[in-house]
């Protein structure tokens, strides 16, 4: 069994596994990642294979700090501002890659840009320090499925494909990083995430642009179908049928509550809801319900990322 508590010795062994070209799963502030040495194309290929991820979908590279990020990418003024405000933390910056950076081309799917982030999680930071490598790590789920927020979720998704699954307990934020491209003229939001759009716009002093079609194509976290449970999701439910499971939010739960109800946040707190979302979807997916009815969740702040994941999870296309 590859789940190992993230004690110092286990982190050291995980770092060695990365150095040897193997893949390991580890906790971050957002979700669990499936990591590989970003400098080693064969190691990176193992990540794509384990996830059955299309090769055109580029990976995020995790680095310990801004100084190291600057070795791999050109960091312009808005980039510096955002990094200063949010790193370490759940912000991924898409930047122009340095031609000398040594990161495997497969990581950015052949693009001349690279997505970098500095995770705010003790285990992730210790792993980066011990491995002394940039770590390419997408979320540790099979492609198109719900991101894992516990070590057990990773094992359910990937079994013993990772050499190790470092168990650091549930991820504190529970939803992926916000991805912002600062390559073009105007900073663009490529994926909503754990840092609300409003917070980023406050730091930039300008509204975030929508992702252009070309960027969307290169950021398939934006693909319509993603984050999907096997049970259909029925969104904005104000009533619930007896054979449905219910994903509730707030205190105003519809009557006739079914066999299985989980409440993302009885007090209607969006941070609590984001942290619980993926685990709740997994649990309700086990209920053999005809559908998962999801109560409306307000759209501002973290609600944008929560609704984005729900919408794409609901898309059966």
Q: Could you list the residues that contact Mg ion (CB under 5 A)?
A: 139
Near ligand TXA in 53-92, by CB under 6 A: 57-60, 90, 92
Which of 39, 179, 284, 310 is close enough to bind ligand TXA by CB under 6 A? 179
Token look-up 């299309």 returns: 54
Nearest CA-CA partner of 248 in 281, 289, 286: 281
Ranked by CB distance to Mg ion, the top (closest) residue is: 139
| Residue 291 binds to ligand TXA (criterion: CB under 6 A) | no
Which residue, 82, 85, 103, is CA-closest to 93? 82
Q: How far is CA 47 from the centre of its chain?
A: 15
Q: Which is nearer to ligand TXA, 115 or 302 (CB)?
A: 115
Number of residues near ligand TXA (by CB under 6 A): 30
Task: Say whether 266 sits in a helix, a strand or coil.
Answer: coil
The answer to whether 248 contacts ligand TXA (rule: CB under 6 A) is no
- 189 near ligand TXA, rule: CB under 6 A: no
As a 3-state breakdown, the chain gives helix, strand, coil percent values, each rounded to 5, of 35, 20, 50
The answer to whether residues 279 and 152 touch, using CB atoms and an 8 Å cutoff, is no
Residue 64 or 138: the one with the smaller Cβ distance to ligand TXA is 138
Identify whether the C-beta of residue 289 lies closer than 8 Å to the C-beta of residue 260: yes
Residue with tokens 């031609």: 99
Instruction: Kindly compute the dihedral angle of the four CA atoms of residues 211, 57, 40, 30, in this order, to the nearest 10 degrees.
Output: 70
- Residue from 37, 108, 149, 150 binding ligand TXA (CB under 6 A): 108
Which of these segments, 131-139, 200-208, 256-264, 272-280, binds ligand TXA (CB under 6 A)? 131-139
Query: Which of these ranges, 13-21, 27-35, 280-288, 303-311, lies near ligand TXA under the rule CB under 6 A?
Result: 27-35
Among 2, 6, 18, 33, binds ligand TXA (CB under 6 A): 33
Residue 22 or 219 having the CB closest to Mg ion = 219
Q: At its nearest, how many Å lie between ligand TXA and the CB of residue 225?
A: 13
- Of 60 and 277, the one with the shorter C-beta distance to ligand TXA is 60
Least distance between ligand TXA and beta carbon 61 (Å): 8
- At CA 40, angle to CA 124 and CA 191, rounded to 5? 55
Strand ranges (E), 27-145: 33-37, 60-62, 73-74, 91-97, 113-117, 135-136
SS3 sequence of 187-224: CEEEECCCCCHHHHHHHHCCCCEECCHHHHHCCHHHCC
Span interacting with ligand TXA, options 218-226, 231-239, 274-282, 297-305, rule CB under 6 A? 218-226
Longest Cα–Cα distance of the chain, Å, equals 62
Q: How many residues does the chain have?
A: 317
Binds 197, which of ligand TXA, Mg ion, none (CB < 5 to 8 A, cut-off by type)? none
**Exactly one of 220, 258, 303, 313 binds ligand TXA (CB under 6 A); which one?**
220
- Residue range at the interface with ligand TXA (CB under 6 A); choices 112-120, 156-164, 196-204, 276-284: 112-120
In the complex, the residues that contact ligand TXA under the rule CB under 6 A are 28, 30-31, 33, 57-60, 90, 92, 94, 108, 111, 113-115, 117, 137-139, 176-177, 179, 190-191, 215, 218-221
């Amino acid at each position: 069994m590859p789940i190992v508590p993230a004690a110092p010795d286990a982190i050291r062994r995980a770092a060695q596994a990365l150095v040897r070209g193997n893949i390991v799963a580890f906790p971050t502030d957002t979700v669990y990642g499936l990591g590989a040495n970003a400098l080693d194309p064969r190691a990176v290929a193992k990540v794509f294979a384990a996830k059955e991820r299309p090769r055109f979908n580029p990976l995020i590279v995790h680095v310990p700090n801004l100084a190291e990020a600057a070795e791999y990418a050109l960091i312009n003024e808005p980039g510096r501002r955002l990094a200063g405000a949010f790193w370490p933390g759940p912000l991924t910056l898409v930047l122009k890659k340095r031609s000398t950076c040594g990161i495997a081309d497969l990581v950015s799917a052949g693009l001349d840009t690279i997505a970098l982030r500095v995770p705010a999680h003790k285990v992730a930071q210790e792993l980066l320090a011990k491995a002394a490598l940039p770590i390419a790590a997408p979320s540790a789920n099979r492609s198109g499925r719900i991101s894992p927020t516990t070590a057990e979720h990773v094992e359910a998704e990937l079994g013993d494909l990772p050499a190790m699954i470092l168990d650091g307990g549930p991820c504190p934020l529970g939803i992926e990083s916000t991805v912002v491209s600062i390559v073009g003229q105007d900073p663009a939001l490529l994926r909503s995430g754990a840092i609300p759009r409003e917070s980023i716009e406050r730091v930039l002093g300008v509204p975030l642009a929508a992702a252009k079609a070309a960027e969307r194509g290169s950021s398939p976290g934006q693909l319509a179908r993603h984050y999907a449970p096997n049970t259909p999701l029925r969104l904005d439910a104000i009533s619930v049928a007896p054979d449905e499971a219910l994903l509730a939010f707030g205190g105003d739960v519809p009557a006739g509550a079914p066999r299985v109800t989980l409440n993302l946040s009885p007090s209607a707190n969006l941070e609590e809801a984001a942290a619980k979302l993926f685990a709740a979807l997994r649990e309700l997916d086990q209920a053999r319900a005809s559908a998962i009815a999801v109560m409306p969740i307000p759209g501002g702040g973290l609600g944008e990322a929560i609704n984005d994941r729900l919408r794409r999870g609901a898309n059966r296309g």
